[in-house]
Amino acid sequence: MGKKTGPTYRPYLNEYLGSYVSDPATGKLVFKDRLLVQALRNGDWIVLDELPTDVLEALNRLLDDNRELVIPETQEVVRSNPHFMLFAPQNPPGLYAGRKVLSRAFRNRFLEVHFEDVPQVEFETILHQRCSIPPSRAKKIVSVFRELQKRRQSGRVFETKQGFATLRDLFRWAGRRDADRRDVDDYQQLAENGYMLLAERARRDDDKAAVKEVIESVMGVKIDEDAI
C-alpha cells in the first residue's frame, strides 16, 4: 500500500505564496505571505502575467469551486475572500517559443477572453499621436517590432524573458528626442536610438545581432556599434 503524503512543495511558488523570514523583533523564523495569499485574504484582484503552465496548474484547488489554497510549508488552508479575482493573461501557444497548450479541463476553470493583435495601421497611428512623431517614423518603428515578432515565433531568438521588445519599449523609443535635432526624416538617429534601447534588453549575442539586422533592414541604414 502506498503511503499518502501532503501537497508536494514547489520552491518556485514562494514568489506567489510566501516563505519563512526572520522576525526582526524576535529573531525567530516566521512565515510571511506573498502577494497571491495577501490578495486571497483581502479580496483583492491580482494579475499573474505570463506564468508558466506548471505554476498555474499548481493553483488548481484555488481555481475549483471551493476557492481555497493550501500553503505547503504551513499546511494552512486559505479560503478566498468573496471579492478575490485572479487574471492570467497568456500569449497563445504556437506563436511563441516554449508556450505549452493548456488542457481543455484547465481552461474551463477560467472565463476566456481573446484579443487580436492591434492592426499595424492602428498601432502606427497610436505611436504618431501619443508620441508626437511623424507617421513615417511610426511606420518604421512598428515594422521593426513586427519583424522581431516574426523571428521570435519562427526561431530560437528572444527566448529569455527579458529578451524581447515590449510595447512600452516602443513608446520609449518613439518618445526619444534627438539631441542634435536632425531632420525628422533622418532614420540614422532613429535607428541608433532603437538599437541602444532594444539591444540593451537582449541578454544574448544572437538576440542583439537580430535586433541590429532588423533595424538596419527596415531603416535602410548601417549601425556602427563602436561609434554609438
User: In the chain, where are the structural domains located?
Assistant: 11-107, 120-219
9: pLDDT strictly greater than 60: no
Averaged pLDDT of the chain: 81
Compute how many other C-beta atoms are within 10 angstroms of the C-beta atom of residue 27: 7
Q: For 145-149, 152-156, 181-185, 188-192, which range has the lowest pLDDT when averaged over its residues?
A: 181-185
Cell match 563602436: residue? 226
Better-scored residue on pLDDT, 13 or 142: 142
Interval 184-197 mean pLDDT: 83
Determine the Cα–Cα distance for residues 4 and 31; give it in Å rounded to an integer.
Answer: 25
Q: What's the angle, vertex CA 150, arms to CA 148 and CA 153, rounded to 5?
A: 110
- The Cα-based distances of 217 to 67, 83, 189 in angstroms read 52, 51, 15
Q: What is the pLDDT of residue 157?
A: 55
Confidence of residue 31 (pLDDT cuts 50, 70, 90): very high
Confidence of residue 129 (pLDDT cuts 50, 70, 90): very high
Instruction: Please spell the DSSP secondary structure of 190-205, one letter per residue.
Output: HHHHHHHHHHHH--SH
1: pLDDT strictly greater than 80: no
Domain 11-107: homologous superfamily in CATH: P-loop containing nucleotide triphosphate hydrolases (3.40.50.300)
Determine the Cα–Cα distance for residues 131 and 125; give it in Å rounded to an integer.
Answer: 10
Q: What is the pLDDT of residue 125?
A: 94
Burial (0-12, 13-18, 19+ Cβ within 10 Å), 204: middle
Interval 8-14 mean pLDDT: 57
Interval 149-166 mean pLDDT: 61
Q: What is the pLDDT of residue 8?
A: 42
Tell me the residue type at 145: F
Q: What is the pLDDT of residues 78-121, one digit of tens each?
A: 999 999 999 988 877 655 555 667 778 888 888 888 887 788 89
DSSP 167: H
Q: What is the pLDDT of residue 215?
A: 93
Confidence of residue 164 (pLDDT cuts 50, 70, 90): low
5: pLDDT strictly greater than 80: no
57: pLDDT strictly greater than 90: no
